[in-house]
């Protein structure tokens, strides 16, 4: 059983957020005061008083930043918190200089110092925001790594519990093997204690899953304890019931962790895409046929999963017995990967303003399919849902091909370029037209037959 190490929570984010907000507010007020000083819209005494008030607030904020830095150093693993002492001192000096210039009634000089101080505070704020975002990203990555390890440990424990149940079902209570199985159940309980501590620590850091984890962990603890008591008392039916409940709750925890990881990954991806500028306004994709390649792979992967499930179902009907937990786990992992890939496709389409309701429906169906596999359900309804997913994927792929074809036709039409006549040929045509006009003006009266010939000639010249 792999051990999970969760780092201590970093500096309380609220204190840093408050400091950033105060910096932004002070920066704005200092900028406004700089404009008022330059334009002398208020009395000199009022301007000076406002500057003194801002100087005092900035001094208080500097003390808060030092307090945050001190608490950061007290952590077991301090973060790279930049208090920006040099920049802070520069801002303080500019604000003091502005006050002195105002006392000397040098308002233009004072205004420059005030605006410089405002820019310095904004720079400090931006730097702190950047540090926070970087720290949050690192924290999320650590939480994801912890979740992955916890998920692996939970699945391993679930398999161990299931294997234990199979052996326990066949053993006689009066044999030495019965005692050995009791020891095995005890080891499973001890292994879960390690996982439990890490789960509870994680729940404090990820508030969205805290209540669920606390409740489920308590249920697993209770059922494992009860299964041990009934094993010791030779109460097989009761022990088996509590073992089954323990395994189910472990599976519930594993499924929840998987969903929490997906949500966190999507959030992190959204933050990354939000910080990037769009290379092409309008949100049009630079590659059309390339966008469909993931859909092709997803379709093939889903078809393979469907065929594998059909084989598992047929084997079950032909007396081959229930598929193993490993088979279900592998199928669930494969379905989860396909769902994640489709979510990435849908996310890309939404960013281009082309989100598909059909894809959303498929993702929901895949999610339900994944839950069935985690809970080891392989019914006719499950197989029917699998076929529905395949059908919808084909519809989505066909719709995508039609959209690409329409876009291609539009692009070809838009790419039609007017053919320009070379300059030398243009000059020749102009001369010929001029000659034709001259002929028309001096031509003598002709019989209709010859007149028609001349008009045809003029037309040919123009063409």
| pLDDT tens digits, one per residue of 384-397 | 888 889 888 888 87
Residue 60 half-sphere exposure, CB side, CA atoms within 13 Å? 11
pLDDT score, position 143: 74
Asked whether 292 and 400 are in contact (CB, 8 A), the reply is: yes
Q: What is the mean pLDDT of residues 354-377?
A: 84
Kindly indicate the confidence band of residue 146, based on its pLDDT and cuts at 50, 70 and 90. confident
Report the distance separating Cα 352 and Cα 84, nearest Å. Answer: 39
Q: What is the mean pLDDT of residues 192-206?
A: 83
Is residue 383 scored above 50 in pLDDT? yes
Alpha helices in 277-379 (DSSP H): 289-315, 325-351, 357-374
First to last CA, the chain: 88
Q: Which of 234, 246, 241 has the alpha carbon at shortest distance from 171?
A: 234
Report the distance separating Cα 336 and Cα 105, nearest Å. Answer: 71
In 174-210, which positions are buried (b, 16+ CB within 10 angstroms) versus exposed (e)? eeeebeebbebbeebbeebeebbebbebbbebbeebe
On average, the pLDDT of the chain sits at: 78
**pLDDT above 90: percentage of residues in the chain:** 25
When mean pLDDT is compared over 72-86, 172-186, 296-310, 420-434, the highest value belongs to: 172-186
pLDDT score, position 223: 94
Asked whether 137 and 268 are in contact (CB, 8 A), the reply is: yes
- 3-state SS of the chain: helix, strand, coil percent to 5? 85, 0, 15
Q: What is the mean pLDDT of residues 172-199?
A: 91
pLDDT score, position 241: 94
Give the CA angle between residues 109, 112, 116 to the nearest 5°: 145
**pLDDT above 70: percentage of residues in the chain:** 74
Q: Of 107-111, 125-129, 212-216, which gets the smallest average pLDDT?
A: 125-129
pLDDT score, position 400: 76
pTM of structure: 0.42
Q: Of 54-63, 214-223, 301-310, which gets the smallest average pLDDT?
A: 301-310
Report the distance separating Cα 325 and Cα 334, nearest Å. Answer: 14
Report which of residues 87 and 322 the model is more confident about: 87
pLDDT score, position 168: 92
Kindly indicate the confidence band of residue 276, based on its pLDDT and cuts at 50, 70 and 90. very low
When mean pLDDT is compared over 40-49, 241-250, 276-285, the highest value belongs to: 241-250
Kindly indicate the confidence band of residue 67, based on its pLDDT and cuts at 50, 70 and 90. confident
Q: Of 161-170, 300-309, 413-422, which gets the smallest average pLDDT?
A: 413-422
Phi, psi of 19 (to 5 degrees): -65, -40
Q: What is the mean pLDDT of residues 317-331?
A: 72
pLDDT score, position 279: 39
Q: Of 82-86, 340-344, 382-386, which gets the smallest average pLDDT?
A: 82-86
Report the distance separating Cα 231 and Cα 183, nearest Å. Answer: 10
Q: Of 52-56, 195-199, 414-418, which gets the smallest average pLDDT?
A: 414-418
Neighbours of 343 (CB within 10 A): 19
Is residue 159 scored above 50 in pLDDT? yes
Is residue 184 scored above 90 in pLDDT? yes
Residue 392 makes CB contacts below 8 A (sequence gap 6+) with 358, 361, 362, 365
- Write down the number of H helices and E strands in the chain: 13, 0
Helix axis angle, 107-170 to 85-103, nearest 10°: 150
When mean pLDDT is compared over 8-17, 181-190, 286-295, the highest value belongs to: 181-190
CATH of 13-132, one of 1.25.40, 1.10.1760, 1.20.120, 1.10.3470: 1.20.120
pLDDT score, position 290: 44
Is residue 8 scored above 80 in pLDDT? no
Q: What is the mean pLDDT of residues 367-396?
A: 84
Report which of residues 345 and 295 the model is more confident about: 345
Q: Where do the domains of the chain lie?
A: 13-132, 293-316+324-415, 423-462
């Amino acid at each position: 059983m792999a051990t999970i190490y969760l780092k201590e929570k970093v500096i309380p984010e609220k204190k840093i957020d408050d400091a950033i907000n105060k910096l932004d507010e002070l920066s704005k007020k200092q900028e406004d005061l700089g404009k008022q000083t330059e334009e002398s819209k208020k009395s000199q005494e009022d301007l000076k008083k406002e500057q003194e008030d801002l100087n005092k607030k900035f001094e208080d904020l500097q003390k808060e930043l030092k307090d945050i830095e001190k608490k950061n150093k007290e952590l077991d693993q301090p973060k790279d918190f930049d208090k920006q002492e040099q920049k802070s001192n520069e801002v303080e000096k500019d604000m003091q200089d502005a006050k002195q210039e105002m006392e000397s009634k040098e308002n233009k000089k004072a205004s420059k110092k005030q605006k410089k101080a405002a820019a310095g505070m904004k720079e400090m704020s931006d730097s702190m925001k950047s540090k926070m975002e970087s720290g949050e990203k690192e924290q999320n990555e650590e939480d994801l790594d912890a979740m992955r390890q916890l998920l692996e440990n939970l699945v391993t424990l679930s398999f161990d519990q299931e294997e234990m149940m199979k052996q326990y079902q066949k053993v006689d209570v009066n044999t030495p093997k019965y005692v050995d199985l009791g020891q095995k159940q005890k080891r499973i309980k001890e292994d879960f204690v390690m996982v439990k501590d890490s789960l509870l620590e994680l729940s404090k850091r990820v508030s969205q899953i805290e209540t669920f984890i606390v409740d489920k962990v308590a249920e697993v603890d209770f059922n494992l304890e009860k299964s041990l008591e009934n094993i010791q008392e030779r109460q097989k039916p009761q022990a088996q019931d509590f073992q089954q409940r323990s395994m189910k709750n472990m599976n519930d925890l594993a499924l929840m962790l998987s969903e929490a990881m997906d949500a966190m990954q999507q959030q992190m991806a959204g933050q990354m895409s939000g910080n990037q500028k769009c290379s092409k306004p309008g949100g049009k994709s630079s590659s059309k046929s390339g966008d469909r390649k993931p859909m092709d792979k997803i379709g093939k992967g889903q078809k393979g999963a469907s065929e594998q499930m059909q084989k598992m179902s047929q084997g079950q009907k032909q007396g081959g017995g229930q598929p193993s937990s490993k088979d279900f786990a592998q199928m669930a992992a494969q379905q989860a990967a396909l769902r994640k890939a489709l979510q990435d496709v849908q996310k890309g389409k939404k960013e281009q303003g082309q989100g598909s309701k059909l894809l959303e429906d498929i993702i929901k169906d895949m999610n339900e399919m994944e839950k069935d596999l985690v809970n080891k359900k392989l019914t006719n309804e499950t197989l029917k849902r699998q076929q529905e997913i395949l059908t919808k994927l084909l519809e989505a792929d066909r719709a995508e091909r039609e959209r690409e074809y329409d876009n291609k036709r539009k692009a070809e039409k838009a790419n039609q370029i007017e053919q320009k006549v070379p300059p030398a040929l243009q000059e020749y045509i102009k001369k010929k037209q001029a000659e034709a006009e001259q002929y028309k003006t001096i031509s003598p009266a002709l019989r209709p037959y010859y007149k028609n010939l001349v008009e045809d000639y003029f037309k040919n010249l123009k063409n």
